[in-house]
Amino acid sequence: MDLPSSGKGILFVISGPSGVGKTSIIRSVLERVENVVFSISCTTRKQRPGEIHGMDYFFVSHQEFESMINENKFIEWAKVHDNYYGTPANFVFDHINNGIDVILDIDVQGALNVKKNLTGGKFVFVAPPSYQTLSERLRRRGTESEEKIQKRLDTAKKELSCIPEFEYLIINEDLEHSIMNLISIIYAERLRYERQKETERVKRLLLEVQ
Ligand code: 5GP
């Protein structure tokens, strides 16, 4: 399926290993950039302290998640570290069709599935400055057991090898810098002539000089 290249919203798929800082970057970008929304995923994972149902995730049971898969309600879904995560399709397509950009925060296998099924998405990989930094960050977060952290690090190694499949790469060394980088990507994509050519302003301007 092709996403619209002009006159509609843009789909930004932000991916990278867990613990790399994607969520913090995205949160700030949403506060600073107009006309962009965050796609709230469904997950079967347990709610962490401080997380809000319907804001961070829709926390659902395995049974509910499976029904949603069978009803084709996801653009993509994946099993990440023993839990299921999925991107609800309606929300994404409704916003894109209404000219509003959508940001997904999903794991690497999910992002590669979106890339396979939807042309026109913009794919951004967020990487740690080094593998060592990622390991330290995951431990500092303190939300997972040592065994789970080890599992996440093994997955991260495989995920980092997928960097070349992405169009954009942000190395998250400094949060503020990474926020500015993601904002730059969003504005650069919005400023493409291809994106603007159907707007009244551009059509009028070109007519004036014919
Ligand atoms: P966490 O459990 O730490 O919130 O997220 C674990 C991983 O799942 C992160 O890499 C996050 O980006 C990813 N994730 C969150 N929502 C989705 C989704 O809808 N689909 C996929 N494929 N991954 C997701």
Residue 75: what are its φ and ψ, rounded to 5°?
-70, -40
- Indicate the CATH number for domain 11-40+99-208: 3.40.50.300
> According to the model, what pLDDT value does residue 57 have?
96
For the chain, the domains span: 11-40+99-208
- Encoded tokens for 71: 């009803």
Pocket test for ligand 1, best of 15, 80, 84 (most atoms within 8 A of CB): 80
| Chain segment 85-95, per-residue pLDDT in tens | 999 999 999 99
pTM: 0.93
pLDDT band at 60; cut points 50, 70, 90: very high
State the sign of the Cα–Cα–Cα–Cα dihedral 53, 98, 94, 108. Answer: negative
Does ligand 1 lie within 6 Å of residue 18's CB atom?
yes
Does ligand 1 lie within 6 Å of residue 105's CB atom?
yes
The residues that bridge with 83 in the sheet, in sequence order, are: 80
Does ligand 1 lie within 6 Å of residue 85's CB atom?
yes
Nearest CA to ligand 1 atom 1: 18
Half-sphere exposure of 165 (CA within 13 A, CB side): 19
Does ligand 1 lie within 6 Å of residue 44's CB atom?
no
Query: Is pLDDT of 7 > 80?
Result: no
> According to the model, what pLDDT value does residue 46 have?
95
